[in-house]
Structure 1
Amino acid sequence: MSRHFEAPTFKWSFLHPKYWHTWIGVGLMFLISWLPYRVQRFLGRKIGLLIMKFFKSRKKIAERNLELCFPEMTGGERETLLKENFEHMGLALFETCMAWFWPDWRIKKHIKYVGFEQIKEFKTNKKGVLVVAVHSFNLELGARAFGAHTPGYGVYRPNTNPVYDWFQCRGRTVNNQLIDRKDVKQMIKRLKDGALVWYAPDHDYGKRRSAWAPFFAVEKACTVTGTHLLAAASGCEITTFTITRDRNGTGYTLTLDKPMDAFPYDNVNASAAYVNKFVERSIMRAPEQYMWLHRRFKNRPEGESSLYD
């Protein structure tokens, strides 16, 4: 059954005192968005280091993920990467403010677009494009910047807080449209109609509709097979895009890669391994900016012990 996305609307119940903290938080986000860009970058890094100090459980997960994925690194190299990772986590708080409240001209001022000349060809061919993204800390800003150039459809997971969900939806639909993450039929329809649909298959979403595929140094990572399902059902092109923060502090580079030329449309297990290679490439463009705090390997094959004990 199709779950056509319906944007949340304002309700008077949103003004109940139990939501006041959400209103205050979003109000602060709006005010923060007007700070000079360099100030936001400075504050973001400092806040990230505070998060690293006080959120020990998340730090432990990130440490373990780096150990599993990069066993060839020395302890010192992983520690440096971990520190940078939490700095970028702090920056993400400010980048969400940018994504939700900055006007298009200010977004574009800080973005360098690479490979986006391909979009004209996509439109000429009238062929849908599944844009594979990764959960980098700046993905929220990346989706907004992509939409400021070429609008498309993003896969959406509603928030349990209705007030925050209302604001989140407003922020994410400035340029783009949304599809409920469970509405596979709608995704396929949009792809068949020639639209661009963003999809992030890099997290562990559970054993249902998944395959065991290599991911960095982990030979069996629970990998969602949604990419294969969408591609095989729609016959769309598949490409990847990444957003990376420039180290010189001036902005971001948004890269749209060439379409995958050997995607195994007829083999679900092979496609999971194939896509993971492209996910790895996207991550390695700026590994310090990836969301390592997620329990990427929480599910294991039958009989195997947890990697996080």
Structure 2
Amino acid sequence: MTALLSYLALALMWLLHWLPLRVTRACGTALGLALYFAIPQRRRIVMTNLRLCFPQRNESWRRSIARRHFIAFACSTLDRAYFWWSSRQRLERLIRLNGREHLKDASGKPTIMLVPHFIGLDAAGVVVSMATPAISVYSRLKNPYFDAQFHAGRMRFNQPLLLSRQDGMRRVLKALREGFPFFYLPDLDFGAKDAVFVPFFGVPTATITGVSRLARLSRARVVPCIARMTQDGYDITLLPPWENYPGESLEADTSRMSAFIEAEVMKMPEQYLWSHKRFKTRPPGEKGVY
């Protein structure tokens, strides 16, 4: 039954890629509202995160952001139909890459792309892979059929180097030194290992120090990559490389990264991945929030 349902779901996704984006987005809006009401446990996670990060806002505002987040998340999920099966020409119309000149350094210095968890990050991965071979680290999905499709979708252009988390950072470091830009998503809660507690919207948050560590070891530039969903597709912006990075310490560098992501979240709060348990790991002695 799992196989049959998976094939049916993938078949429906395949059909979506023939439709205009406005139709798919209408389906995503309906699906997002349905999920908002149908999955109370996930809604509680979103609302808990929003209460922690925006205590100064009223509950009505937070509920509005939560509903818009579910809609944006559902739309981005259905948009994968285009990422997996649409032509390069159509994808180039749907996904605009700004700041392409920051993707590689003229002198050959390695590049780490800092990609916060906005719901458009898969669009960012697609347009970057169309521009150049890159490194990305992924976690396998439990459903083998969807896992295979996700993998095939990510391998469509320029043969990116996909590594599992089990491969470790040595493989990433080697590829960085060989000239592959690294598409890095460092703002999930991976536990206390290799993490420091730095403020995120004023909340002590376990944040991995990998960006700073890799930049120090590889002498790489750090180029922020921000993905924004728009009505007619996605705008992906590569910002200029950070100056004076890495800095004086791993903790200072990680605090700087966290503050940067916080500022970007303020520009489009509904598009950040609030459905993730970002504050699951707490400082010693502090109670859990979920």
TM-score range, shorter chain: over 0.9
Give 3-state SS (helix, strand or coil) of 2:226's partner: strand
Task: In structure 1, give the amino acid aligned to 2:3.
Answer: Y
Equivalence for 1:30: 14
Give 3-state SS (helix, strand or coil) of 1:240's partner: strand
Task: In structure 2, give the amino acid aligned to 1:109.
Answer: R
Taking the TM superposition and a 5 Å limit, the aligned residue runs for 1:190-205 are: 190-205=175-190
Residue 137 (str. 1) matches residue 122 (str. 2): no
Residue 43 (str. 1) matches residue 36 (str. 2): no
Equivalence for 1:168: 150
Which of 170, 177, 181 is matched with 2:161 structurally? Answer: 177
Taking the TM superposition and a 5 Å limit, the aligned residue runs for 1:16-95 are: 18-95=2-79
Equivalence for 2:255: 273
Quote the Cα distance in structure 2 between the aligned partners of 1:82 and 1:159. 25
Equivalence for 2:92: 108
* Deviation per residue, 1:154-211 (Å, 9 max, x gap): 1121223333222211011112331222321111111112221111111111011110
Change (3 A) 1:281 1:116: farther
Quote the Cα distance in structure 1 between the aligned partners of 2:183 and 2:116. 10
Give 3-state SS (helix, strand or coil) of 2:100's partner: coil
Aligned residues of 1:192 and 1:235 also touching (Cα < 8 A): no
Residue 97 (str. 1) matches residue 91 (str. 2): no
Q: Structure 2, unaligned stretches of length 5 or more?
A: none
Which of 117, 130, 146 is matched with 2:101 structurally? Answer: 117
Aligned residues of 1:207 and 1:299 also touching (Cα < 8 A): yes
Aligned residues of 1:241 and 1:282 also touching (Cα < 8 A): no
Quote the Cα distance in structure 1 between the aligned partners of 2:2 and 2:28. 28
Taking the TM superposition and a 5 Å limit, the aligned residue runs for 1:130-279 are: 130-175=112-157, 176-182=160-166, 183-218=168-203, 220-246=204-230, 249-279=231-261
Quote the Cα distance in structure 2 between the aligned partners of 1:257 and 1:283. 15
Quote the Cα distance in structure 2 between the aligned partners of 1:207 and 1:269. 14
Residue 289 (str. 1) matches residue 275 (str. 2): no
Aligned residues of 2:133 and 2:180 also touching (Cα < 8 A): no
* Deviation per residue, 1:73-99 (Å, 9 max, x gap): 222222221111111121022122221
Give 3-state SS (helix, strand or coil) of 1:239's partner: strand
Cα shift at 1:266:
5.0
- In the TM superposition, structure 1's runs of 4+ consecutive aligned residues that sit over 4 Å from their partners are none
Aligned residues of 1:240 and 1:282 also touching (Cα < 8 A): no
Quote the Cα distance in structure 1 between the aligned partners of 2:111 and 2:125. 15
Aligned residues of 1:131 and 1:198 also touching (Cα < 8 A): yes
Cα shift at 1:18:
4.8
Aligned residues of 1:240 and 1:278 also touching (Cα < 8 A): no
% same residue: 29
Aligned residues of 1:45 and 1:90 also touching (Cα < 8 A): yes
Quote the Cα distance in structure 1 between the aligned partners of 2:162 and 2:265. 24
Quote the Cα distance in structure 2 between the aligned partners of 1:293 and 1:59. 7
Give 3-state SS (helix, strand or coil) of 1:222's partner: strand
Segment drifting more, 261-270 vs 165-174: 261-270
Task: In structure 1, give the amino acid aligned to 2:39.
Answer: F
| Superposition CA RMSD, Å | 1.6
Quote the Cα distance in structure 2 between the aligned partners of 1:251 and 1:165. 24
Task: In structure 2, give the amino acid aligned to 1:48.
Answer: G
Q: Structure 1, unaligned stretches of length 5 or more?
A: 1-16
Task: In structure 2, give the amino acid aligned to 1:205.
Answer: F
